Amino acid sequence: MRRLIKMMGFCFIDIVLLALSIVFSYALKFDFNFIYIRRSYWLDILCIIPLAIIIKILCFWSFKLYTTLWKYASLHEALKIGQAVLAGNILVILIALVLPIKSSFSALIISSFLDFVFVAGIRFVYRLYWSMLKNKFNSHFYSNKNLKEKRLMIIGAGEAGSVIVKELESSPCLHSKAVVIIDDDENKIGKKLHGVPILGNRNDIVRLAEEKKIDEIIIAIPSAPGSEINKIFAECSKTKCKVRILPSLSQLIDGKVSINKVRDVQLEDLLGREPVKVDLENIALYLKDKVVLVTGGGGSIGSELCRQIAAFSPKRLLILDNYENGAYDIMNELIFKFPELKLKVLIANIREKQRMESIFKTYRPNVVFHAAAHKHVPLMEENPSEAIKNNVFGTLNLVECSDKYGVSKFILISTDKAVNPTNIMGATKRIAEMLIQAADRYSKTDFAAVRFGNVLGSNGSVVPLFKKQIENGGPVTVTHPEVTRFFMTIPEAVQLVIQAGAMAKGGEIFVLDMGKPVKILDLAKNLIRLSGYKPDEDIKIVFTGLRPGEKLYEELLLEEEGLKATKHDKIFVAKPIFTDFAVLKRELDILYDLLTKEDEEILNYIPNIVPAYTRTSS
């Protein structure tokens, strides 16, 4: 009832305003000569007014002007008013031309402009009234003399910065105030954005933060690449201010900027990785309504594979893992997110051929993503036989089962450490690559591998280790000041793995574009800054020396492989180097017999299978 009264109220006001609009249009047309207007046009005006009101009010109803929440009106509502006014006035002019009414065409044109001014004006006055009322209420309700108002610096005077400043202004409950804006556009410096001065560029951040007594800095440039964010953050970290960020456009799920989306800066923001574009149609063709098996499905890469595969509506998703806790966690997550998904968790070890045979025979997977592996370089140097059992013979079991039970595609998750390996983990992954390339020559299954570098936050990666060391007050241990690694985020790596799977025809080793290598020392420093400390002052960095099997830098390509582009700009194909499966199998039989021998014998035999393997430890 209350809503109806409000609608009728606006309707009544519009009727009055539309009538006044016609009267004023004639007054403007004839220079307010009311004597002439009354003598020549008065009867016609009296005829036009009810006709115009009926037509225009009907147009307003059809454009839903009376069901809009005007207290939140914006440009969108103004455009809607413009459309309704234009439609109504066109109809009035056309009907007036047909009827035997002595009307002034130019006066009716003026009337259309006045209609917009009056109708839009009254609504935005109403919005302004509610806004002022809300601010008055908020300032009274949320006023807390004991709570200090935070002084903010906003970096970015673009659209995102504008939204943040406006929201801060209209939300006293946040107890925050934008006092200065930074922007690199020289044309903006010296001007104001919603009353907040733009006083300098990134080189002025430290000075202005001190002068204006800034408590917190918000980086509001969602369109900026990570490399730029990295440079800006480096300047911000020289201040004593807390630094927060508006996520990149690719991370804003609905694309809308809001103060609620502002969060702490994360390492991913500083990497400079561009969002991945995937061919959803081709991916859907090989995953939708298929039985998909993910080995190592409870791990960091495997669990993300499960998340993304689930979105493509597979017939059934099989999660295979030796570690029950990880498998249990991803199972519960997927049940919650995808209640319609047919899901089966299989606790099993890929080393056990009989168990693998049973699984393949029972569930008949169409697609296999093989992510199960031992991957900790120093640990595998101490336990080479375990790396071989899992990464080589576990893969062999899966390859043979995939061939026997008619798997359509088999995608091996490989690593840059397989290239010219200096450690047993890398050597075993290179043998796994050789296995799938050799098997592809005789099998109907399309075997392929995807090779990439480190992923941020994966189990056993350097990032969680650094975070733990920082939490404990340091020191942060880096092996060498010049050591570098390729990095990408887990979701990005998995998106590209799934995309490569769509491209696989058999025998390929896909190499992902990892971008520029990152110095581990820089990574450590950034993590210390992100935690609110200063490197080498609050948290010390200690160099421990390269570990057994560790390189200064990683490679993504063997010298003889070459590289070919694909239709995806971040995925390349290495030229196949085929090995005869029978020859490889004979060498693996010898290796298998050596697993009961001393580690030294095992390691000495590896170059017979992987000539590029060079031991850096003894």
Q: Could you tell me the two tokens for 485?
A: 């690694």
144 CB-side CA count, 13 A: 11
CA dist 242 and 151 (Å) reads: 11
Q: How confident is the model at residue 21 (pLDDT cuts 50, 70, 90)?
A: confident
CA dist 38 and 156 (Å) reads: 58
Q: How confident is the model at residue 559 (pLDDT cuts 50, 70, 90)?
A: very low
CA dist 494 and 491 (Å) reads: 5
Task: Identify the structural domains of the chain with CATH numbers, from first to last.
Answer: 2-141 (no CATH), 150-271 (3.40.50.720), 280-458+486-532+554-609 (3.40.50.720)
DSSP state of 34: H
Q: pLDDT digits over 127-145, tens only?
A: 777 666 655 555 554 455 5
Query: How large a percentage of the chain has pLDDT more than 70?
Result: 81
**Biggest CA-to-CA distance, the chain:** 118
Q: How confident is the model at residue 401 (pLDDT cuts 50, 70, 90)?
A: very high
Q: How confident is the model at residue 558 (pLDDT cuts 50, 70, 90)?
A: very low
Torsion of CA 244, 262, 128, 52, to 10 degrees: 140
Distant-in-sequence contacts of 557-566, Cβ < 8 A, 24+ apart: 557/419, 557/511, 558/419, 558/420, 558/612, 559/420, 561/509, 563/511, 566/503, 566/510
Residue 253: per-residue pLDDT? 40
Highest mean pLDDT among 55-69, 84-98, 292-306, 564-578: 292-306
Q: What is the mean pLDDT of the chain?
A: 81
Q: How confident is the model at residue 75 (pLDDT cuts 50, 70, 90)?
A: low
Q: pLDDT digits over 216-263, tens only?
A: 899 988 888 777 888 888 888 888 888 888 876 555 444 456 666 778
Where does residue 405 rank: exposed (0-12), middle (13-18), buried (19+ CB within 10 A)? middle
In Å, how far are 307, 418, 519 from 428, measured between CA atoms? 27, 8, 26
Residue 456: per-residue pLDDT? 66
Contact 320, 297 (CB under 8 A): yes
List the alpha helices (DSSP H) in 152-198: 159-169
CA dist 565 and 508 (Å) reads: 12
The answer to whether residue 214 scores a pLDDT higher than 60 is yes
Residue 276: per-residue pLDDT? 57
Q: pLDDT digits over 261-318, tens only?
A: 778 777 767 766 565 566 667 777 889 999 999 999 999 899 999 999 999 999 999 9
Residue 386: per-residue pLDDT? 94
Contact 112, 85 (CB under 8 A): yes
CA dist 120 and 70 (Å) reads: 10
More confident residue, 595 or 122: 595
pTM: 0.64
Q: pLDDT digits over 200-212, tens only?
A: 899 999 999 998 8
Contact 409, 501 (CB under 8 A): yes
CA dist 262 and 171 (Å) reads: 15
Q: Which of 1, 131, 157 is nearest to 72 (CA)?
A: 131
Residue 561: per-residue pLDDT? 47
Residue 252: per-residue pLDDT? 47
Q: Provide the 10 A C-beta neighbour count for residue 559.
A: 9
Quickly tell me which residue has 């922007």 as its tokens: 183
Highest mean pLDDT among 62-71, 170-179, 366-375, 528-537: 366-375
Spacing of C-alpha 360 from chain mean position = 35
Highest mean pLDDT among 115-119, 511-515, 543-547, 596-600: 596-600
**Enzyme catalytic residues:** 417
Contact 502, 283 (CB under 8 A): yes
The answer to whether residue 95 scores a pLDDT higher than 50 is yes
The answer to whether residue 451 scores a pLDDT higher than 50 is yes
Give me the mean pLDDT over the 75-88 stretch: 80
Amino acid present at 505: K
**Peptide bond just before 475 cis, omega within 30 deg:** yes
